[in-house]
Structure 1
Amino acid sequence: MEILPAIDLLEGRCVRLYQGDYEQSQVFSEDPVEVAKSWVDQGANWLHLVDLDGAKTGEPVNLEPISRIVNAIDVPVQVGGGIRDRNRVTQLLDLGVNRVILGTVAIENPELVTQLCQEFPQQIVIGIDARDGKVATRGWLETSEIEAIDLAQRMPHAAAIVYTDIHRDGTLKGPNIPMLREMAQAIEVPVIASGGVSSVTDLLSLLALEPVGVNSVIVGRALYTGDVALKEAIQAVGQGRWQDVPPDLGSSATA
């Protein structure tokens, strides 16, 4: 189980939102590059970056801090937020980003996304952000009528699916285990869990989903509040085995 620390960028600063609400943002650092270096120093093998301004406007806004982060560290980076055409994809890949996350465009132009997945194999990730099971778009400001699992099934060529339960994101209430299991069982693409992780116990609960295809987890607020210490979490998850996870950790979380 790979742990991906999240760095959410708003006006060039490292912030966290509560349930995707831009009005409930908390600034954790004015220097996202130093934050990125810190996570790498503590053992992160991947970083997850989100351009929150871009997600809202549909145009990448935080390219400068993203570029500085990529150039400052020696681990791969995936980036999402406001990437809705081929030019933006290639722009980020040219900066040295390893994987690009597409969200809104997967709803609005699925044919383009399929083409991009085939043109850039293993470099296109689909971000599925769900509110009550329905896919949210445009920085979570709008909610479609499309079911999250239906969208995931339409993207068989993606490198991975990032599934975020918006009601859990930034709340420290734990991941939505039942929904993650249901999605992973419905598709063959690897699933990256996102939203709600509050403790190492939550991370260990996700180990029970590894056999069905949940192989990574994005952790945000819990790292910044200190509820999860990254180095210790990586060690705990690395030593854990899904066979050893108590049944209640792997199945009791509610949607």
Structure 2
Amino acid sequence: MLFFSVLALVTLTVAVPHSKRATTFFNPNDGGGRMLTDATGGFGAADDLGEPLNVIISGTSSAAVLTDDGFLNYAQSLGFSFECLGLHLGGPQSANLGDGNGWVNQTVEYRQDYGNEEIGTCLESLIGGNHLRMFRQNGSSEDTGALFLAVSQEEDVADGHDIVANGYDIGRNALVASAIAVGGTNANGVSYSTTALNITGLLAAGAAGVNHDIATDGVTTLLTVTIL
């Protein structure tokens, strides 16, 4: 049974209700999936390594947040944006969210934008920083609409964008801290309020199966995002 602990709560401003789904997320482990991406091409084989899916955007969030455009805008409110000049560095990773889709490539990858949504990610590509990969749970068996994120802090280009020591936990914590900032977040005229809940039991703590042999604390943070 999963153990839930409250990380933080942000007071919600009363607003006109937005359409929401009924389910927060479905545990991929219960549907033959897993909470690690496929980073080495093994598609879940015993020796396959992956990145932890350490943040989930709940399917009960405001519906617009769960769309591609809506998630980009929300990510920009947290200091992430599209990759430098639209160019992707490195190969995409895939994930099996146990929803009936099997192994599916990441939907998008966003990088820390250092305060500039248009070109700031070029700086991240050079000096390193936080970045995320997003996967959507929308298969025929479990269409929750939840967004699963693999978040990590990475080195600069000279170090091949390897993950820094403890980089998975560091990346997750930095994103969550931005999301639950007092007063909420906003981008392009849209304001958000986010609550966070830490969940253990989805990911195993430690480095088993984790890319770069970097141990994690086994925590996944569930974010529920409301457009104000």
TM range (shorter): under 0.3
The structure with the largest helix share of the pair is 1
Greater relative contact order, per chain length (Cα 8 Å cut-off, separation 6+): 2
Q: TM-score, normalised by structure 1?
A: 0.25
